[in-house]
Amino acid sequence: MRFAKETNEYLVLIFRMAVMMLLYSMARVGFYLFNSSFFPNVTFSGLLTIMKGGLMFDISALLYINLLYLLLYLLPLPFKFNGWYQTGLKVLFVVTNAAGLAVNVSDIIYYRFTLKRTTSSVFDIFANEENMGRLWLQFLVDYWYALFFWLLLTGLMVFLYGRLKPKPIAFSSKWLYPITGLVFLVLFSGFSIVGMRGGYRHSTRPINMSNAGRFVNSPEEMALVLNTSFSMLRTIGKKSFIPLSYFSEEELADVYTPEIFPNEKDTARFKDYNVVVIILESFNREHSGYLNPHLDGGNYKGYTPFLDSLMRESLTFAQGFANGRKSIDAMPSVLASLPALVQPYVVSEYSSNRINGMGSMLKDYGYYTSFFHGAPNGSMGFDAIARLSGFDHYYGRTEYGNDSDFDGIWGIWDEPFFQFFAEKLNTFPEPFASALFSVSSHHPFKVPFKYEGVFDKGTLPIHQCVGYTDMALKRFFEAARKAQWYDRTVFVITADHSVPSHYEAYKTNINGFAVPIVFHAPGLHLKGLDHSLAQQIDILPTVIEMLNYPLPYVAFGNNLLDVGGADDRFVLNYVSETFQFLMNEWAIYYDGKKVVALYNRLEDPMLTTNLIKDMPIPEKEFQFFRAIIQQYNNRMIEDRLTIRR
């Protein structure tokens, strides 16, 4: 290559690996700068520690990605300095490392929606999407700055790759070169094993994602330390759950059990109310003016005027939380009371387990069950999840049957699909249990052409879409209120997950899961604003207990109508390879082996002061927390998510 300097082949290899380390560090800095609002407590010295810790994960990822390149480069072959061989090596290096940089840069955007580095499960999550090509093109257009950043890094890699050109070491004997080459190959192999494992000691276990906790002050900062390539490679083929033994079986049942046995006197008469569950795509609790009277000095109106009006006539939870950060997490949580831990349940190796889905439980009492999602049938595997939860009849884009209302990417626009939902409910035999998952409040954040400029565009692109879906919800309720079944129906409205927010108060680890949770039951006269903790996995047991369901079942959430159980309410999430547990005033972060952070979430809502070194871990909450995790893990492994009858 012109202007390339010829030098020792091993120095050239070290130079090229050093270039990649520099580029990965640049990608990490870019990740931080683009997402700095999610890491408000990172100091300059803390960032330096993070960058230092990140080198360990970059080295490991770099060596995994370049295994074939290193082997072909180091083999002491007499023809490896020929032009065709060197060109082949360059193509291999550029393609594989450009891919490694691409997944790291893509997490600059994707992290905002998941609050964790991407793992190999992403391939399972999107395996059923028919429109991935179109989505990727749209992402590249909308997030052009990430594409530009990747092109910049890749361009630097290509440019610097050719600055040095390898040449063989000159020896007096032709036999010395292959012998020396084999020696260097063995040495590099040894160094590579050390680098991939993250250390040289015999006792060193191969590093995993939890090792990032050594370099941070709070769990969310682990995402800054990690390398996405490493995270994806280290989770390929890994089991989601491992058996836990924090407690003996006898002790465990005393601390916490998800088995619920209804009291016979409370279930004397089953109430066969219809059940309608509406899961709104990406509805952050921040979007509601009713739930945020303190914002903007009391002048915040939000973007959900109809939902706000409905919440005033319903039982609404001011501290409602999703259990996961992805759409695929929501359905098991909402419809089967299964928290979203470690890996999405529906793409884990235990997805064939029997579960207590809302549909299957109510079918025992003659309910007609149905699930609605306006996306192409099979999208996100929702049809499979619906069937696992006991919803027999699926209505998607195919059943809607009119592609003139297709938004071009995700599915049927919410307004016409909500009307389709209302019309179909009118035809179902009672009692029925139906769920709907909306689609329109989603990237690329568009509304139908006739509604351009109608809804407040606010401060984030999603806001006009939220306003549009709120209008669609209003029109649905206008139709439902005219139906004879309306007063005999329990409506549940929540969101699948939260999304990136505008206000700093919603950018914490805790409020990164904040969503509305609303129970509207005209015939039961539920009303009020409850300020105790609530989460998606509480929805199933609350609805089931509301109906006086008489049979035992398994649910990991609480009945939110049980006033006496308010002190036992909790919220469970998984953030950056760490369990997040809220109970009473505490927020506890646990990596499976030790508590890594402790906050008083009421006195310190921005989570600025980690109390782990200043006070003992709250014993009651911590033991309760670990008992839930053990019950969930072990029951998942042993297929004990139902009570066999």
Residue 42 has pLDDT above 90, yes or no: no
pLDDT of residue 620: 93
Count of helices and strands (H, E) across the chain: 20, 16
Q: How far apart are CA 519 and CA 526, in angstroms?
A: 7
- Count how many residues are written for the chain: 645
Residue 201 has pLDDT above 80, yes or no: no
Percent of the chain beyond pLDDT 90? 59
Q: How far is CA 137 from the centre of its chain?
A: 22
Across residues 117-142, what is the average pLDDT? Answer: 69
Report, in angstroms and rounded to the nearest whole number, the Rg of the chain calculated over CA atoms: 27
Confidence of residue 143 (pLDDT cuts 50, 70, 90): confident
Residue 170 has pLDDT above 70, yes or no: no
Residue 127 has pLDDT above 60, yes or no: no
| Tens digit of each residue's pLDDT (9 = 90 or more) over 10-20 | 899 989 999 99
pLDDT of residue 373: 96
Question: Of the candidates 61, 50, 215, 37, which has an alpha carbon nearest to the alpha carbon of residue 111?
Answer: 37
Helix 44-65 / helix 67-74 crossing angle, nearest 10 deg: 60
Confidence of residue 204 (pLDDT cuts 50, 70, 90): very low
pLDDT of residue 240: 66
Give residue for tokens 């439980």: 361
Q: Is the pTM of this model over 0.85?
A: no
CB atoms within 10 A of CB 18: 11
Question: Of the candidates 628, 570, 567, 576, which has an alpha carbon nearest to the alpha carbon of residue 597?
Answer: 576
Strand 517-520's sheet: what is its strand order? 393-395, 368-373, 432-437, 274-280, 489-495, 517-520, 315-321, 528-535
pLDDT of residue 203: 40
For all residues of the chain together, what is the average pLDDT? 88
pLDDT of residue 115: 76
Helix 83-114 / helix 144-161 crossing angle, nearest 10 deg: 150
pLDDT of residue 202: 45
CB atoms within 10 A of CB 421: 25
Residue 378 has pLDDT above 90, yes or no: no
Q: When comparing pLDDT for 212 and 157, which is higher?
A: 157
pLDDT of residue 176: 66
Question: Of the candidates 270, 357, 394, which has an alpha carbon nearest to the alpha carbon of residue 537?
Answer: 357
Helix (H, G, I), strand (E, B) or coil at 622: helix
| Tens digit of each residue's pLDDT (9 = 90 or more) over 96-108 | 999 999 999 998 8
pLDDT of residue 172: 55
Question: Of the candidates 407, 496, 494, which has an alpha carbon nearest to the alpha carbon of residue 445?
Answer: 407
β 5-8/315-321 pair status: unpaired
Q: When comparing pLDDT for 437 and 176, which is higher?
A: 437
Indicate the residue type of 86.
Answer: Q
Give residue for tokens 């989601």: 240
Domain boundaries, the chain: 5-234, 250-638
| Tens digit of each residue's pLDDT (9 = 90 or more) over 422-431 | 999 999 999 9
Q: How far apart are CA 109 and CA 93, in angstroms?
A: 25
Question: Two tokens at 467?
Answer: 């306003």
Would you identify the CATH topology of the domain 250-638? Alkaline Phosphatase, subunit A (3.40.720)
pLDDT of residue 230: 85
Instruction: Name residue 533's beta-bridge partners.
Output: 319
The winner for highest mean pLDDT among 57-71, 255-269, 622-636 is: 622-636
Across residues 430-458, what is the average pLDDT? Answer: 94
Q: Which residues contact 211 (CB under 8 A, 6 or more apart)?
A: 56, 198
Across residues 364-388, what is the average pLDDT? Answer: 88
Question: Two tokens at 310?
Answer: 């409905």
pLDDT of residue 129: 59
pLDDT of residue 531: 94
DSSP annotation of 492 reads E
pLDDT of residue 409: 87
| Tens digit of each residue's pLDDT (9 = 90 or more) over 534-584 | 999 999 999 999 999 999 999 999 999 987 777 789 999 998 778 999 999
pLDDT of residue 196: 67
